[in-house]
Amino acid sequence: MRKSIALLLLFSAAIAGCTKSASDPTGSGTDGDGKPKVALIMKSLANEFFSTMADGAREHAEAHPEQYTLIVNGIKEETDLSGQVALVDEMVSAGVDAIVIAPADSKALAPALRKAIKQGIVVVNIDNKLDPEVLAAEEIEVPFVGPDNRAGAKKVGEYLAKKLSAGDRVAILEGIQTAANSQQRVAGFEDAMEALGAKIVSKQSAQWEMSNANTITSSILSEHPDVKAILAANDTMALGAIAAVKSAGKADTVQIVGFDNISAIQDAVRSGKVLATADQHADQLAVFGIELALKKLSKPDTAIGDTETPVDLVTAETIAASAEASTQE
Residues 68-123: tens digit of each pLDDT: 999 999 999 889 999 999 999 999 999 999 999 999 999 999 999 999 999 999 99
Say yes or no to pLDDT of 329 above 90.
no
Contact 258, 242 (CB under 8 A): no
What is the pLDDT, as a whole number, of residue 6?
A: 44
Q: Tell me the C-alpha distance between 87 and 42, whole Å.
A: 10
Angle at 229 between CA 224 and CA 231, to 5 degrees: 110
Name the helix (H) or strand (E) containing 308.
Answer: strand 307-308
What is the pLDDT, as a whole number, of residue 323?
A: 83
**One-letter amino acid for residue 185 of the chain:** R
Order of strands, sheet of 69-75, starting from the edge strand that comes earlier in the sequence: 69-75, 37-44, 98-101, 122-126, 144-146, 307-308
Q: Tell me the C-alpha distance between 43 and 110, whole Å.
A: 15
Q: Tell me the C-alpha distance between 52 and 128, whole Å.
A: 16
What is the pLDDT, as a whole number, of residue 9?
A: 40
Sorted by sequence, the CB contacts under 8 Å of residue 118 that are 6+ apart come out as none
Sorted by sequence, the CB contacts under 8 Å of residue 222 that are 6+ apart come out as 248
DSSP states of 166-235: TT-EEEEEES-TT-HHHHHHHHHHHHHHHHHT-EEEEEEE-TT-HHHHHHHHHHHHHH-TTEEEEEESSH
Q: Tell me the C-alpha distance between 21 and 23, whole Å.
A: 7
Q: Tell me the C-alpha distance between 279 and 260, whole Å.
A: 5
Domains located in the chain, CATH noted = 2-145+283-309 (3.40.50.2300), 149-279 (3.40.50.2300)
For residues 274-303, give the mean pLDDT. 95
Question: Quick one: pLDDT band at residue 4, thresholds 50, 70, 90?
Answer: very low
Question: Quick one: pLDDT band at residue 322, thresholds 50, 70, 90?
Answer: confident
- Please give the C-alpha separations between residue 151 and each of 9, 136, 147, 257, in angstroms, as whole numbers: 21, 25, 8, 15
Q: Where are the alpha helices (DSSP H) in the chain?
A: 2-15, 48-63, 81-93, 110-118, 132-138, 149-161, 180-196, 210-223, 235-247, 263-271, 282-298, 316-328
What is the pLDDT, as a whole number, of residue 27?
A: 38
Q: Tell me the C-alpha distance between 237 and 227, whole Å.
A: 17
**Bigger pLDDT: 3 or 129?**
129
Contact 106, 128 (CB under 8 A): yes
> Could you tell me which of 251, 256, 250 has the C-alpha nearest to residue 269?
256
Sorted by sequence, the CB contacts under 8 Å of residue 266 that are 6+ apart come out as 314, 319
What is the pLDDT, as a whole number, of residue 111?
A: 96
pLDDT in tens, 5-29: 444 444 444 444 333 333 443 334 5
Contact 160, 192 (CB under 8 A): yes
What is the pLDDT, as a whole number, of residue 267?
A: 94
Please state, as a whole number, how many other Cβ atoms lie within 10 Å of the Cβ of residue 112: 21
For residues 243-256, give the mean pLDDT. 97
* Alpha carbon distance, N-terminus to C-terminus of the chain: 14
> Could you tell me which of 147, 143, 134, 112 has the C-alpha nearest to residue 290?
143
For residues 134-161, give the mean pLDDT. 97
For residues 284-308, give the mean pLDDT. 94
Mean model confidence pLDDT for the chain = 90
164 in helix, strand or coil?
coil
Contact 206, 173 (CB under 8 A): yes
What is the pLDDT, as a whole number, of residue 32?
A: 59
What is the pLDDT, as a whole number, of residue 34?
A: 84
What is the pLDDT, as a whole number, of residue 30?
A: 54
**Bigger pLDDT: 315 or 44?**
315
Say yes or no to pLDDT of 325 above 90.
no
Q: Tell me the C-alpha distance between 298 and 294, whole Å.
A: 6
